């Protein structure tokens, strides 16, 4: 969920995380939680909306490295994701998929979870209760979470013994709130622990812009074509700054561990891949946030287009200039230093240097645009290029409205 701040066109985006510890007290993972505000004590909901919001916020608003570093992330899944009605837009490398205790076991669910496990996803059984039917998943599960606060401890011996018949299962003692519960976890040799006795959930908050609802719907439509037009898709994403940033953050998780760095929106789209872009777009539609102020979008788009228009004057890449304009423009809107956003994206060194130090050819582009926007016209007359940028930006937003009408 996002809390609006209409005075400057931004909003606050939240995601909760609760550490999961090993027996030595080291944090080895986080459970990601839906939170609707900075001071929310509990999630309040565990439905598809909540799951979609957690995924979108964690991976495309913050960036998964910002949320968890290199640790695993436990994410609750509803039936829609487990059976494949909604597709996961990320790979299995850093996530553990939690099967909620409220999910009724049937052949379709078991088949869906089996397919996920075969694709390399780790499976956790949340709030496991013996006799619920979830024990059929023991052969697929990597984690079984046991509620030591409100769970039925009378059958704990039986449950732990059943888990130990599967060497691949680690037991997570959850909802630990007392020393007595910690002692139970020790007595049974439960490998991981989670609960208020160790750490309360933390709510991470960041200022954000939401992609226009119209633009998201247009993107979903473009991606749904039998033969998607890559250029049209890139154009839709490039003309919506927050949507561009989300795609860049998604590409950052794809780029982890690789030498690839992106220098254009098109390159980021290709890196993520159209199937994943489609999945993220669908989740963004579910993550039903209010539209961002058109005035603020127009300002960022105009800046990006102006950077693109004058790039050749400095021998810089026009695509790279557009991207640098988007990131620096959004940073201004969020009242952040551009260099503070660099780690969220897998940017080419030339763009990093321009944003962080104002150096290189792209740095000269940004400085020229900054001077013009501040009324310091200097050696360059950008009036013509600026008017073109305003016309282009206005048309881009107008086309978005028409396409979604």
H/E segment holding residue 110: helix 107-118
Residue 135 confidence (pLDDT) = 93
176 and 193 in a single domain? The answer is yes
Compute CA 179 distance to the chain's CA centroid, rounded to the nearest angstrom: 36
Q: pTM for the complete prediction?
A: 0.60
126 and 178 in a single domain? The answer is yes
178 and 304 in a single domain? The answer is no
- Which domain-ending residue is among 205, 226, 254? 205
Three-class DSSP category at 119: coil
Compute CA 129 distance to the chain's CA centroid, rounded to the nearest angstrom: 31
User: What is the rounded distance in angstroms from the CA atom of residue 277 to the CA atom of residue 271?
Assistant: 10
149 and 218 in a single domain? The answer is no
328 and 190 in a single domain? The answer is no
30 and 110 in a single domain? The answer is yes
Helix (H), strand (E) counts: the chain: 16, 10
152 and 100 in a single domain? The answer is yes
401: number of CA atoms within 13 Å, CB side?
7
339 and 228 in a single domain? The answer is yes
- How far CA 328 is from CA of 246, 263, 361, in Å, comes to 15, 14, 15
What region does 231 belong to: left with phi over 0, alpha with psi -120 to 50, or beta? alpha
- Which domain-ending residue is among 171, 186, 205? 205
Domain that holds residue 300: 211-404
245 and 288 in a single domain? The answer is yes
Domain count, the chain: 2
Radius of gyration of the chain (CA): 24
Q: 368 with 382: CB under 8 angstroms?
A: yes
Residue 249 confidence (pLDDT) = 79
125 and 234 in a single domain? The answer is no
In this structure, the strands spanning 72-77 and 170-174 are: unpaired
CATH of the domain at 41: 3.20.20.450
User: What is the rounded distance in angstroms from the CA atom of residue 4 to the CA atom of residue 284?
Assistant: 17
77 and 98 in a single domain? The answer is yes
CATH of the domain at 389: 1.10.3210.10
167 and 215 in a single domain? The answer is no
Residue 5 confidence (pLDDT) = 46
- Which domain-ending residue is among 177, 205, 233? 205
pLDDT along the chain (405 residues), means of 10: 47 83 94 67 56 74 79 90 83 91 92 96 94 92 95 91 95 95 96 94 74 66 75 84 81 62 83 78 53 66 90 91 85 79 78 92 94 79 88 71 49
């Amino acid at each position: 969920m996002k809390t609006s701040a209409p005075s400057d066109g931004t909003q606050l985006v939240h995601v909760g995380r609760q550490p999961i510890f090993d027996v030595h007290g080291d944090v080895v993972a986080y459970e990601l939680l839906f939170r609707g505000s900075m001071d929310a004590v509990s999630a309040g909901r565990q439905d598809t909306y909540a799951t979609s919001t957690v995924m979108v916020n964690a991976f495309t608003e913050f960036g998964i490295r910002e949320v968890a570093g290199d640790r695993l992330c436990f994410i609750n899944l509803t039936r829609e994701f487990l059976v494949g009605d909604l597709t996961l837009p990320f790979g299995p490398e850093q996530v553990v998929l939690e099967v909620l205790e409220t999910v009724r076991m049937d052949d379709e669910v078991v088949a869906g979870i089996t397919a996920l496990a075969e694709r390399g996803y780790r499976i956790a059984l949340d709030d496991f209760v013996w006799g619920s039917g979830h024990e059929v998943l023991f052969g697929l599960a990597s984690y079984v979470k046991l509620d030591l606060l409100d769970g039925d401890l009378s059958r704990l011996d039986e449950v732990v013994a059943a888990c130990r018949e599967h060497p691949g299962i680690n037991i997570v003692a959850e909802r630990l709130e007392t020393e007595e519960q910690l002692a139970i976890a020790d007595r049974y040799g439960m490998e991981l622990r989670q609960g208020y006795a160790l750490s309360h959930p933390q709510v991470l908050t960041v200022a954000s812009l939401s992609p226009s609802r119209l633009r998201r719907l247009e993107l979903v439509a473009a991606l749904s074509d039998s033969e998607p037009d890559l250029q049209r898709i890139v154009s839709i994403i490039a003309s919506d700054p927050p949507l561009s940033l989300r795609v860049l953050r998604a590409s950052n998780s794809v780029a982890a561990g690789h030498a690839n760095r992106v220098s254009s929106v098109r390159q980021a789209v290709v890196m993520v891949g159209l199937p994943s872009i489609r999945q993220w777009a669908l989740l963004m539609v579910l993550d039903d946030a209010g539209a961002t102020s058109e005035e603020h979008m127009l300002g960022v788009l105009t800046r990006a287009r102006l950077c693109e228009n004058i790039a050749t004057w400095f021998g810089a890449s026009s695509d790279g200039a557009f991207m640098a304009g988007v990131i620096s423009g959004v940073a201004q809107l969020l009242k952040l230093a551009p260099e503070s956003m660099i780690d969220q994206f897998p940017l080419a060194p030339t763009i990093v240097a321009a944003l962080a130090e104002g150096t290189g050819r792209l740095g000269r582009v940004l400085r020229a645009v900054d001077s013009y926007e501040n009324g310091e016209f200097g050696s360059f007359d950008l009036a013509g290029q600026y008017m073109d940028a305003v016309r282009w930006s206005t048309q881009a937003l107008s086309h978005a409205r028409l396409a979604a009408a």
